[in-house]
Amino acid sequence: MATLKLLSVLFLQLVVVLFVSDLANGYGLQLGFYKKTCPNAEDIVRKTTAQYISRAPTLAAPLLRLHFHDCFVRGCEGSVLLNSTKNNQAEKVAFPNLSLRGFQVIDGVKSAVEKVCPGVVSCADILALVARDAVLMLKGPFWEVPTGRRDGRVSSANEALTNLPPPFANITQLKTMFLGKGLSVKDLVVLSGGHTIGNSHCSSFSNRLYNFTGKGDTDPKLDSNYIVKLKSKCKPGDLTTIVEMDPGSFKTFDEDYYTLVAKRRGLFESDAALLDDSETKAYVKLQTATYGSTFLKDFSESMVNMGKIQVLTGMAGEIRKHCALVN
């Protein structure tokens, strides 16, 4: 009898653990969540996003980054979109987020959706859909986005500082941060491939060019010929110049990023770190050798995984009327 009681208690504990784990990893999301409440939602998002990206293709990378920065702080619940208030410094003003762009796209898409279905589609879902549609317009992959996210009411600059992987992170730090969000080592190396599009400010990597260990030296993990080329564009203390992260194809979503990393030409220390782990290095080598044979499929899967981080569903959170403001 005692044994049976103990087994019952253990079973209940297991159910609770699994339930909490499910909530934390995207359960409550579903494909076609708005099929009845706003059947044209995804078409409106796609068409409105296309209007922006067709005029300014370089916005695609910032929109992808915006989704990433949202999900890694408090989960994919739109907190990165909130403005600061008199009593609170929001994620937007945290140092890693000062270079974020594309908020006007999210606001424009939200406005278009609100005209048809007021108070139905969350800003968090719009951000996830816009990121997908923007990548697709740069010849990237299409992936089905499970929806049903709700918007959070809290946004903290300090939380952004502690949760976002910095460009100078080593492989141990990166693995710890990704695993802490429920993402695998494969997700880490695959999502890093998002650096195939977009630009970076010189300040994000200039220490690798001029003062890597505080002795006026360069990073030995960065190709010496590439250092010369980067120094011609980025002078010491340069805070304004931007360079392409994937020179020559920074407007095309492809596997070239891994070729650069393999040649020790990734801009960030976090890019170079992918060669310091057997699993991530093997993936880099595979994509380089096979011209990205699995990259687009893998990226689709990892984006779905990332989009499930700590989502709010059901009655949690809210559906914001304006993405920069809580209701």
Q: What does the domain layout of the chain look like in residue ranges?
A: 171-302
Query: Rounded to whole angstroms, how far apart are CA atoms 18 and 56?
Result: 44
Q: Which residues fall in the annotated binding site for Ca(2+)?
A: 70, 73, 75, 79, 91, 196, 246, 254
- Looking at residue 25, its pLDDT comes to 57
Classify 312 as helix, strand or coil: strand
Among candidate residues 67, 69, 201, 322, the one labeled active-site is 69
Query: Rounded to whole angstroms, how far apart are CA atoms 148 and 312?
Result: 8
pLDDT in tens, the chain (327 residues): 444 444 344 444 444 444 444 445 577 999 999 999 999 999 999 999 999 999 999 999 999 999 999 999 999 999 999 999 999 999 999 999 999 999 999 999 999 999 999 999 999 999 999 999 999 999 999 999 999 999 999 999 999 999 999 999 999 999 999 999 999 999 999 999 999 999 999 999 999 999 999 999 999 999 999 999 999 999 999 999 999 999 988 889 999 999 999 999 999 999 999 999 999 999 999 999 999 999 999 999 999 999 999 999 999 999 999 999 999
Q: Which residues fall in the annotated binding site?
A: 70, 73, 75, 79, 91, 165, 195-196, 246, 254
Query: Rounded to whole angstroms, how far apart are CA atoms 106 and 39?
Result: 19
Select 171-302's CATH number: 3.90.1010.10, 1.10.420.10, 2.60.120.10, 1.10.3720.10. Answer: 1.10.420.10
Query: Rounded to whole angstroms, how far apart are CA atoms 263 and 98?
Result: 30
149-81-297-25 Cα dihedral, nearest 10 degrees: -40
Q: Which residue has the tokens 């049903």?
A: 148
Whole-structure pTM over 0.85, yes or no? yes
Q: Are the CB atoms for 244 and 144 separated by under 8 Å?
A: no
Catalytic-residue membership of 69: yes
Classify 141 as helix, strand or coil: coil
Q: For residue 14, how many C-alpha atoms fall within 13 Å in the half-sphere facing its CB?
A: 6
Q: Give, for 187, the enclosing helix (H) or strand (E).
A: helix 185-192
Could you tell me which residues come within 8 angstroms of residue 286 by beta carbon, excluding any fewer than 6 positions away?
293, 294
What value, to the nearest 5°, has the Cα angle with vertex 96 and ends 27 and 236?
A: 150
Q: Which residues fall in the annotated binding site for heme b?
A: 195
Query: Rounded to whole angstroms, how far apart are CA atoms 64 and 86?
Result: 29
Q: Which residues fall in the annotated binding site for substrate?
A: 165
Q: Are the CB atoms for 201 and 65 separated by under 8 Å?
A: no
Q: Give, for 244, the enclosing helix (H) or strand (E).
A: strand 242-244
